[in-house]
Chain A
Amino acid sequence: MLNLIKIKDKKKEQAASAAGKAPVKKQSAGELRLHKDISELNLPKSTSISFPNGKDDLMNFEIIVRPDEGYYLGGTFVFTFQVSPSYPHEPPKVKCKTKVYHPNIDLEGNVCLNILREDWKPVLNINTVIYGLNLLFTQPNDEDPLNHEAAAVLRDNPKLFEANVKRAMAGGYVGQHYFPRCA
C-alpha cells in the first residue's frame, strides 16, 4: 500500500523544491537492445553501414551492400532500416533505396525476406538481417518472387537473367522499366 501520510509529506516536499529534477530523455528498451546489436555488428566484407542522423540516432540507418560474387557482383545497393521502439518485438522495417532488377525485391523497394516478416523472432538481430540481405544477392530465389517477371526469367533463362541484371546495373531499360546505374 501507499501510505497516505507519506504522500502528504511528499507533496509538501515537492512544493518546497518546486524546481524538481530536469526532465530525462527516455531510452526505450528497444533502443537499448538496438544499441547492443549495433555495438556488436560484425559486418561481412561486402557491407558497410552509415548513420545519416549522426551517432545518437541508431534507430534509422543505411546498409550498403556491394556483392562480391554472383549476378550482382559490382553493384551497390542501399537499404534503409527503420527500427521501432518495440524492437525486437517487431522486426526492423527494411526498404531497398536502389531500384533493382531482382526477383525478391519489387520496384518500390519492398524486400521479400522471410526473417523480416513471418519468420522474425526477437532472438534474431540486425546482423542476421544483414546476412539475409547479402544472401538475396548471392542466391536470388525464383520460388517466392516479388518481381514476377524477373523471377520467370531467372527460372527459365538464367543467361538472359544475367544479361538483364548487368543491363539494369549499368543503367538502362529492362522491359518497360528504367533502372538507374548502380554499378
Chain B
Amino acid sequence: MSSPDEDPPTEPERWRDLDMLLSRPGNLVHADFNPSPGLRDSLGSLVEVLVVGAGGLGCELLKDLALSGFKNIHVIDMDTIDVSNLNRQFLFRVQDVGKSKAEVAAKRVMERVSGVNIVPHFCRIEDKEIEFYSQFSIIVLGLDSIEARSYINSVACGFLEYDSDDKPIPETLKPMVDGGTEGFKGHARVIIPGTTPCFECNIWLFPPQVKFPLCTLAETPRTAAHCIEYAHLIKWNEALKRAELFGISGVTYSFTQGVVKNIIPAIASTNAIVSAACALEALKLISGCSKTVSNYLTLETLNMVLFEVHYFSLTICRYNGLDGTHINVSEFAREKDCLVCGPGTLIELGTSTTLSEFIKMLEEHPKLLMSRASVTHEGDNLYMQAPEVLEQMTRPNLGVPMFELLKGAARTTVHVTGMAENNGKKVSSLRKLRVTFKGVEESSKMDESS
C-alpha cells in the first residue's frame, strides 16, 4: 500500500464535493468525526472495501464507491456475463459476454476512474478462506440471494468479539452495508454487528417463496406457472436423459434452477438509487461525516417519476406522490439471543474439564439452567442426546477433556441445545456459549503449531 506521500497529486476540483463533507464540522456528524482536509487521503490509502457481487447492483456500487474516494476495492463474483445483463449492468459490453463479471467490472472502473485499484475475485464467496474477509474495513453487498447474504453475514459477525461485560470490542467490528433490489423495490441497510441487527436477527422478514402443491402441478394445473413448474420439478429427469442422449453436459439441478428461477425484471434505476444509498452509507460509516441510517431503508419507485432523494443525514425525505416514489427508514431491533451476532453466554472451563462435566455445568449455570444438552462446535458434533445412533457415536467423547475436543483453542464458540428455563418453564433452546479456558494464553496455540 502506498503511503499518503506517494499518492498521485490531488485533484481538488474533482473531489470538491467530497472534501466539503470531509473537511467541515456539522451538527449531524458522528461523535468521533474529525474533519480534516487529509481525511480523503486516509480514506483512499487506509480503507479496503469489499464489494460482494458484480451484477446489477455491483456495477453501480463499484462506480459509486470509486467516485466517493475509496481507492482500494475488491470485488467478488462467481458469475460470467450473460447477454441479458447488458441492459442494466452498464460496465459490460457485447464482446464481454462469457467473461467474468468481477474481472470485467474491475477493469472498466479502473479505466474510467484514475487512481483507484480494484482487485477482482472470480470465485464463490465460500471458496475464500475466512481470513480473506478480515482485511476489509467494510463489506458492501450487492447480492440476490438470502443464502449468500446469510453466509457473508455469518463471516462478518464471526470476527466480532465481546469483552467480559458482553460489550462488542470496536476493533473487531466489521460493518456491512446490504443493498437489494427487486423490480421497482429496493432496500439498503446498515449492519454493525453487535450494535444493529444482523441479517440473521430479522431473517423472518423475507416472505416465504411461493410453492405450489406437487399434486396440483401433476394433476390439476390451473395456471401457466403450474405448467412450467411441472416440467421443471417433475419431468426434470427427462431433461437429464435428453442431455445424455445428445452427449450434452452441464444439465445440473442448479443450472436448471438458474434457467427457470423466478426472474423479476430488474430495473436499472432501482439499482442506481439503492447503490447510491449504499455507497453513501459506507462513506458515512467509514468517515463519520454523518450519522448512518438507522438501520433499514426501503424504497419503492412505482411508476417512477422525476424525484429527488434528500436523505443524507437523518432527515429522510419522503416523497409520496401518486404512484410516485416512497422512501422509508425503519429501525429494526436486534434479536437478543441471536446465534450469529449475539454475545452468547461466557463460560470458563479448566483444561481438564471433561465434556460430561461441562454438560453438568450447564444444568447449574444460573444464566442457562439447561438440562439434556447436546453440544456442537464448528461443525463437529461433540455430543448428541438423540437420536440413538448419534448418541452412540458421540458417547466416547463424554470422558474427553473439552480443551482437547475444542482443539486446544484458548477461547472459542460452542453451541448447545437442550431444555432451558425461560420464565419458570422448561423450553427447548439453542444457545451460543463463549468458552474460555483458565490459565491458557491466547498465543499458546500458535506456539504449539509453529
Contact = CB atoms under 8 A, between A and B. Distances in A.
B203 interface: yes
A160 interface: no
Contacts of B206: 89
B173 A2 contact: yes
A29 interface: yes
A25 interface: yes
A29 B203 contact: yes
A27 B340 CA distance: 9
Contacts of B171: 6, 10
A84 to B, nearest CB: 7
Nearest to A108: B237
B200 interface: yes
A51 B390 CA distance: 8
B160 to A, nearest CB: 13
A128 interface: no
A138 interface: no
Contacts of B212: 117-118
Interface string B129-173: 111001101100000001100110011001000000000001101
Given A7-B47, A40-B417, A111 B214 contact: yes
A11 B46 CA distance: 9
Interface in B362-416: 374, 376, 378-381, 384-387, 389-390, 393-394, 415
Interface string B204-219: 1010110111111011
Q: Main SS of chain A's interface residues?
A: loop
A2 B285 contact: yes
Interface in A106-143: 106, 108, 110-112, 114, 117-118, 120-122
B42 interface: yes
Nearest to B428: A40
Contacts of A22: 445
A35 B389 contact: no
B133 to A, nearest CB: 10
A29 B42 CA distance: 37
Interface string B35-65: 0000100110011000000000000000000
Contacts of A4: 39, 42-43, 46-47, 286-287
A35 B415 contact: yes
Nearest to A4: B42
Contacts of A84: 147
A146 interface: yes
Contact of A26 (B155, B209, B386, B418): B155
Contacts of B131: 20-21, 23
Contacts of A20: 131, 134
B386 A39 contact: yes
Given A1-B32, A2-B285, A56 B234 contact: no
Given A4-B42, A41-B386, A55 B219 contact: no
A50 B386 contact: no
Contacts, number: 173
A110 B214 contact: yes
Contacts of B42: 4, 8
Interface string A69-92: 000000000000000111001100
B194 interface: no
A86 B450 contact: no
Given A27-B415, A35-B417, A2 B175 contact: yes
Contacts of A8: 42, 46
Nearest to B430: A36
B130 A23 contact: yes
Given A85-B151, A89-B146, A89-B206, A146 B339 contact: no
Contacts of B208: 89, 120-121
Interface residues of A, number: 62
Contacts of B108: none
A35 B382 CA distance: 11
Contacts of B158: 24, 26
A144 B378 contact: no
B147 A85 contact: yes
A39 B372 CA distance: 10
Contact of B219 (A6, A30, A35, A148): A148
A29 B386 contact: no
Interface string A35-66: 11011111100001111001110100000000
B213 A114 contact: yes
B389 A50 contact: yes
B154 A26 contact: yes
B151 A39 contact: no
Nearest to A27: B379
A176 interface: no
Contact of A39 (B147, B155, B234, B374): B374
Contact of A3 (B32, B154, B378): B32
22 contacts: A2-B286, A3-B170, A4-B46, A4-B47, A26-B378, A27-B378, A29-B339, A30-B150, A32-B339, A32-B430, A35-B374, A39-B385, A39-B417, A40-B428, A43-B387, A55-B384, A106-B234, A110-B214, A110-B233, A112-B215, A112-B218, A122-B204
Given A33-B430, A35-B415, A40-B428, 8 more contacts: A2-B288, A7-B46, A32-B430, A36-B430, A40-B385, A106-B218, A106-B234, A117-B213
Kindly list the 9 A-B residue pairs having the minimum CB-CB distance in the complex, ordered from nearest.
A1-B288, A39-B374, A144-B215, A36-B417, A1-B30, A112-B214, A117-B211, A55-B393, A112-B215
Interface of B: 30, 32-33, 39, 42-43, 46-47, 129-131, 134-135, 137-138, 146-147, 150-151, 154-155, 158, 170-171, 173, 175, 200, 203-204, 206, 208-209, 211-216, 218-219, 233-234, 237, 284-288, 339-340, 374, 376, 378-381, 384-387, 389-390, 393-394, 415, 417-418, 428, 430, 445-446, 450
